[in-house]
Amino acid sequence: MFLESNVKLQPAGWIEVVCGSMFSGKTEELLRRLRRAWYARQHYILFKPEKDKRYALKEVVSHDENAMECITITHSGDLLKYVGGVEVIGIDEAQFFDMGLPDVCQELAVAGKRVVVAGLDMDFLGRPFGPIPDLLAMAEYVTKVHAICPHCGNLASHSYRFAESDETILLGALDAYEPRCRKCFSLGNKLKPFRRKKA
């Protein structure tokens, strides 16, 4: 568990990244950190990309149905319009943002803000996803959270896709993806052309 150290005492801003596979609890962890900032009477704001319309337009909702109000934006640069007077900035589903996001986060951190970014570190083929790799390199604090592989019980770091689609972005929940460990992910992808469709 990530515990903030000297959250109110540090003079400069910084970047935190919470990443992992689907169903690993990234959004829950992001919301937990923002709630703690709220308890500390800090001004926070939460953003998500316009592409993520799964649950609600103006809320971030985690798989355990925690919800928090947010602002939906299409371009990373739009963040800058909303952050005056804000101390803590949360960004969910950051993998869907454009490649300008790391520079925007850097600008915010230099301006003294705490930036908490959550997102998928890998896509459904196990490839580094969008701006997340750059953010991992630039962040002061990185937390990888894990789901549990339903096939073997090991920690799951990959997002296995059942659906027959080569699109990198295919939004969905339980029916389209499952978390898998590296071994079961790799095995599943090898068998894919021969497997039967999931009922």
Active site positions, annotated: 93
* Listed ranges 12-20, 94-102, 117-125, 152-160: which one lies at the site for Zn ion (CB under 5 A): 152-160
Largest CA distance in the chain: 57
User: Among positive and negative, which fits the CA dihedral 168, 170, 172, 174?
Assistant: negative
115 pairs with which residues across the strands?
15, 89
Q: Shortest distance, CB of residue 158 to Zn ion, whole angstroms? A: 9
In whole angstroms, how close is the CB of 169 to Zn ion at the nearest point? Answer: 25
Nearer to Zn ion, 90 or 179 (CB): 179
What residue type is assigned to position 119 of the chain?
G
Select the span of 62-70, 76-84, 95-103, 147-155 touching Zn ion (CB under 5 A): 147-155
Considering only 14-22, 82-90, 165-173, 184-192, which stretch makes contact with Zn ion by CB under 5 A? 184-192
Question: Considering beta carbons, is residue 104 or 149 the nearer one to Zn ion?
Answer: 149
In the complex with Zn ion, which residue's Cβ is closer, 77 or 126? 126
Backbone dihedral region for residue 184 (phi beyond 0: left; psi -120 to 50: alpha; all else: beta)? alpha
DSSP codes of every residue in 128-163: B-TTHHHHHHH-SEEEEE-EE-TTT-SEE-EEEE-S
Residue selected from 15, 19, 115, 149 as contacting Zn ion according to rule CB under 5 A: 149
- Interface with Zn ion: number of residues (CB under 5 A): 6
Binding of residue 184 to Zn ion (CB under 5 A): yes
Overall residue count recorded for the chain in this entry: 199
Contacting residue, 151, 155, 188, 189, with Zn ion by CB under 5 A: 151
- Two tokens, residue 115: 């930036």
Q: Which of 94, 103, 164, 162 is nearest to 130 (CA)?
A: 94
Give the shortest CB-147-to-Zn ion separation in angstroms: 11
The residues of the shown chain that bind Zn ion, judged by CB under 5 A, are 149, 151-152, 154, 181, 184
